[in-house]
Structure 1
Amino acid sequence: MENPPYLRLVNEIAVQFTHRPFEESAEVVAAHVRKFWDPRMRGQLMAHAVAGGEGLHPIAVRAAELLQQQTVR
C-alpha cells in the first residue's frame, strides 16, 4: 500500500528542520502545516498521529500533537 500524500509531505518538511532543536522543529512544522495545508489534510495528519503515527518522522508526530492541542483550545 502506498503512503498517503500528507505523510510524504510532512516527513519531507520535518527532515528540513532536523538541524534545529526538536521542539523548535516541531513548532516550525506545525506552523507551516497550519498556514499552508488544507484543513482536510491537517485533519488527516492529526488523525494519523492519534492512531499511532506509523511512518511519521518524530518531528512530524510532535507537530501533529501541537496542531491537535491548538485545535482543542
Structure 2
Amino acid sequence: MDNQNLIDMANRIGDFFESMPDHEEALAGVADHIRRFWEPRMRRALLATLDEPDANGVAMSGFVKEALIKHREQLTPAAPSTI
C-alpha cells in the first residue's frame, strides 16, 4: 500500500472539511469519512504513519493529523477473527 497516496487522499479530505466553521465538527467529519469509506487495511496503514517520523514525500497536514489522533480509537479496525 502506498502510504504517500493515502496521506495525499487524507489531506484532500481534510482540505474539504477544514473550511467548516465548527472545528470539532470538521475533525469529526474527516474521521467519519475515512471510517465509512476506507477499507480497514487502508485505515491501518494511514494510522501507522502517525507513529513514523515524517519521510520524504507528501506530508500529512496538521489538521488531518489532529483528526486522526483525536478519533484514532474509532478509526482503528477491529482485529480480524481467527475462526
Indicate whether the TM-score tops 0.5: yes
| TM superposition score normalised by structure 1 | 0.76
Q: Which moved more, 1:22-31 or 1:60-69?
A: 60-69
Instruction: Note the alpha carbon deviations across 1:12-52, whole angstroms, 9 max, x for none.
Output: 01001222233221110000000000111101111111224
Runs of 4+ in structure 1 deviating by more than 3 angstroms, as ranges, are: none
| TM superposition score normalised by structure 2 | 0.69
- Equivalence map 1:41-52=2 (5 Å): 41-52=42-53
Aligned alpha-carbon RMSD (Å): 2.4
State the number of aligned residues.
71
Aligned to 2:7: 7
Supply the distance in 2 between the matched residues of 1:28 and 1:52 (Cα, whole angstroms): 25
Bigger radius of gyration, 1 or 2? 2
- Equivalence map 1:1-73=2 (5 Å): 4-20=4-20, 21-52=22-53, 55-70=59-74, 71=76
Tell whether the 8 Å contact from 1:34 to 1:67 is kept in structure 2 after alignment. no
Supply the distance in 1 between the matched residues of 2:68 and 2:9 (Cα, whole angstroms): 13
Unaligned runs of 5+ in 2: 77-83
**Percent of paired sites with the same residue:** 30
Structure 1 counterpart of 2:12, one-letter code: E
